[in-house]
Amino acid sequence: MSTALARRLELLNERYGNAEPGDVLRAMIQEEFPGRVALVSSFGAESAALLHLIAQIDRATPVVFLDTGKLFGETKKYRDQLIETLGLTGVRSVMPDPAAVAARDPKGILWSQNPDACCILRKVEPLERALAPFDAWFTGRKAFQASTRAALPVFEIENGRIKVNPIVRWTKADIDAYFDAHDLPHHPLEADGYLSIGCMPCTSRVEPGEDARAGRWRGSDKIECGIHLPGGQVPARAEP
């Protein structure tokens, strides 16, 4: 980490570490990183809240959507619905490199053999390419989603970029209230028990009392796809 970047992180925390999400977003989009910040959104169960907040500031803000080739059809339809409903004009769908998929997952079953390697191929590498033009990016992570996210800060540094978690302190009740206040549509799979929605083969329903992310990679010790680990890291066994 460069000294200049570390100082930038320190200043951002001083200025906006306790600010409201809308104020954080506005400052990043209009003042701190104009034209150089993007939102990475899964268009999942809670994504509409952050997308709506951003749409109130600048509907042309770049939004990166990772189309892994393994998503639920309902997620793509929900993406299209939110683009139209919120008037978003900066959404860009990013797919894995076809040559890399042909070489490393020709049968499309890598997820069942080595889910970490599949995430590298279909999420980590495409995201790094997509973020190349940007100095900062927003995530929709919240502390309540899982015990592993309980201590998340608003600002981080990752791969030489500022990473911003503007709604990290929102509770599930805050999310629900925001949806209700702005009459936001819900992901069609949420009512069926899917509370954290990723790729179809690796996502299952969440049982009452479980963490919202308990349905991701159920039955394994995997808890993150890799895009939210330092440097996109995953266990060494994931190396293709």
Residue 118 among the catalytic residues: no
DSSP string, the chain: --HHHHHHHHHHHHHHTTS-HHHHHHHIIIIISTTSEEEE----TTHHHHHHHHHHH-TTS-EEEE--S-B-HHHHHHHHHHHHHHT---EEEE---HHHHHHH-TTS-HHHH-HHHHHIIIIIHHHHHHHTT-SEEE----GGG-GGGTT--SEEEETTEEEE-TTTT--HHHHHHHHHHTTPPPPTTGGGT-SS--BGGGB-PPPTTS-TTTTBTTTSS----STTSGGG---GGG--
Residues assigned a catalytic role: 225
